[in-house]
Structure 1
Amino acid sequence: MSYLFKSSVLCLTLLMCVTSCKNENKQDKEVEVPELIIDDEPMSPIEAIEKAYNKETFLSNEAIELDIVISFGGKERLDAKMTYLTNSTQGKIELKDGTFIYYDNDKVFHSPDLKNEKAVRFDAYTWMYFLLFPDKLSDQGTIWSELETAELNGKTYNKQGLTFEANTGDAPDDWYVVYSDPETHMLDYVAYIVTVNKSTEAAEADPHAIGYSNFKTIDGVPFAHNWEFYEWTKDGGLGKVIGEAAIKDIKFVTPDANTFKVPEGFIEK
């Protein structure tokens, strides 16, 4: 047998051996590789918004205080100092005329000489909800629609509808449509109806939207210091501006035993 032939046979044998070993190793790997487990689930759109607003830091504080002036049609609607627990279970509104509104969960109390007594439950809860909205998206009883995209003011947004389970809060028939930036997840606009003191049909005949702007970070948490209120329709989007709000002196505070204590003689509404 020639040297060349022996070499060829040897090379062929080695090649077959290597190939066989590779195939065995490949089969072993296919059998032995463990199932891939992903620990971190992707964030939902609501979780992304809550993260953008640093909800965890917000809730690590006990209460928030701010001054706000709200106007509609060029007329001042409300000028007050507001104080709320960050879990929103208690609140106090001190109006500039010296009258007060308190709420404790579902109970509302007001000064005997409060001027706008008919709107007391509206004032107790609605402004708080607009202020704390980014941190209340996953409250108990919230129902969210599937995420979709929508054009508003020439910009593409993530859009989701929010409704509520029966007996949730003071007005479970309210609904909201949330427009969030797909990159930053911040809320630019929220359309809504408010059914306090009116029927659902009447509220749906006159829906509005709120636009959030002039964000400033307070102790790690972003807050919109300006709001604009708009006419709004599902098909037409934003209409004309009908109101505005200016907020200042936002700060986290630690309430004492008397902060949310309702004074004697106050009227429960």
Structure 2
Amino acid sequence: MKNLTFLAIGALAFSCQPAQEKETAEETVPVYQKPAHHSESLTKVFDAHGGHEQWSTMKSLSYKKGEESTITNLQNRKIRLESPNQTIGFDGQDVWVTPDSVDASRARFYHNLYFYFYAMPFVVGDPGANYEDVEPKELDGKTYSGIKVSYNAGVGDAPDDNYIVWYDPETGKMEWLMYTVTYRSGEPSDKFSLIKYGTWQEFNGVVLPTSLQWFQYDGESVGEARGEATPFENIQITADAPDESLFAMPEGAQVAPK
């Protein structure tokens, strides 16, 4: 899972703003250009979720998962997670944790784990990703089209992670995600985990999930749900950048080991 286990992983330090600027007589107007590495099938999925152009104009994403609140700068992927017992942040260079009494050993793995799953499918549009259309697959009684996503060497904390985005071939809407996890072992894996994206809602022109449900998966068929679905609340995505001071490492914080 790309930093997703890092999954997230995966392209944390990269910006999703594929825009150039065009001079006019009155002002400088940003002009969207589709990233050259995006495939036709991936663009279809993006379009079903509001479009990569709309996503690329967004600068701040925040949500609440249980007692944990997260805010992310979408342009530089700095992030801050606050929960009752700890705060985790990424300032663009280091992952930090406070208070200093908290075990920071998992923080680098965890800091963008849920963000990466939550911001699907758009996060797989980051630079350094490669796409391959795969054979259709039946999941839970329905046949889906699939896009396998891999990463160039050196991209993110776990460049050997792979994802497969499964989408409705008629609507383009993403419904399942398969992912591998290589963050701790450092070795490529062909064992996929499975998430269902069953509920979507539009926020500021971007279609985002309101819950994620993990399922057991044996490599061939979908098994039982793994616990309760994970709900996301207080979802906000805006074109206004969050205050950079939110991501600055506070005095006395620990730096999470890489």
Q: State whether structure 2 residue 231 is matched by structure 1 residue 231.
A: no
**Aligned partners of 1:109, 1:176: CA distance in 2, in Å?**
27
**Aligned partners of 2:177, 2:236: CA distance in 1, in Å?**
24
1:66 — aligned with what? 63
| Greater length-normalized contact order (CA 8 Å, ≥ 6 residues apart) | 2
Task: Give the C-alpha shift of residue 106 in structure 1.
Answer: 5.0
The answer (yes or no) to whether the contact 1:45–1:147 under 8 Å persists in 2 is no
Alignment deviations for residues 43-100 of structure 1 (CA, whole Å, 9 cap, x no partner): 700011112222322221220111013xxxxxxxxx3100011235211111132x21
**AA partner of residue 48 (structure 1):** K
Q: State whether structure 2 residue 206 is matched by structure 1 residue 218.
A: no
Identity of aligned residues (%): 24
The structure with more helix, counted as a fraction of residues: 1
**Aligned partners of 2:49, 2:101: CA distance in 1, in Å?**
34
Structure 2 residues without counterparts, runs of 5 or longer? 1-38
SS in 1 for 2:159: coil
Residue of 137, 154, 159 corresponding to 2:141: 154
Normalising by structure 2, report the TM-score: 0.76
**Aligned partners of 2:225, 2:76: CA distance in 1, in Å?**
28
Residue of 224, 227, 235 corresponding to 1:240: 224
Task: Give the C-alpha shift of residue 160 in structure 1.
Answer: 2.0
The answer (yes or no) to whether the contact 1:106–1:170 under 8 Å persists in 2 is no
Q: State whether structure 2 residue 49 is matched by structure 1 residue 53.
A: yes
Q: Structure 1 250/166 Cα, relative in aligned 2: closer, same or farther at 3 Å? A: same
SS in 1 for 2:194: strand
Which residues of 2 match residues 116-265 of structure 1 at below 5 A? Answer: 116-200=103-187, 204-205=190-191, 207-234=192-219, 236-243=220-227, 244-253=229-238, 254=240, 255-265=242-252
1:112 — aligned with what? 99
2:22 — aligned with what? none
Residue of 86, 91, 106 corresponding to 2:74: 86
The Cα RMSD (Å) is: 2.0
Residue of 95, 102, 120 corresponding to 2:89: 102
Task: Give the C-alpha shift of residue 114 in structure 1.
Answer: 6.1
Task: Give the C-alpha shift of residue 237 in structure 1.
Answer: 3.0
**Aligned partners of 1:104, 1:152: CA distance in 2, in Å?**
39
Structure 1 residues without counterparts, runs of 5 or longer? 1-42, 70-78
SS in 2 for 1:137: helix
SS in 2 for 1:217: strand
SS in 2 for 1:258: helix
**AA partner of residue 62 (structure 1):** K
How many residue pairs are counted as aligned between the two chains? 214
Task: Give the C-alpha shift of residue 199 in structure 1.
Answer: 4.1
SS in 2 for 1:146: strand
1:14 — aligned with what? none
**Aligned partners of 1:188, 1:106: CA distance in 2, in Å?**
33
SS in 2 for 1:118: coil
**AA partner of residue 185 (structure 1):** G
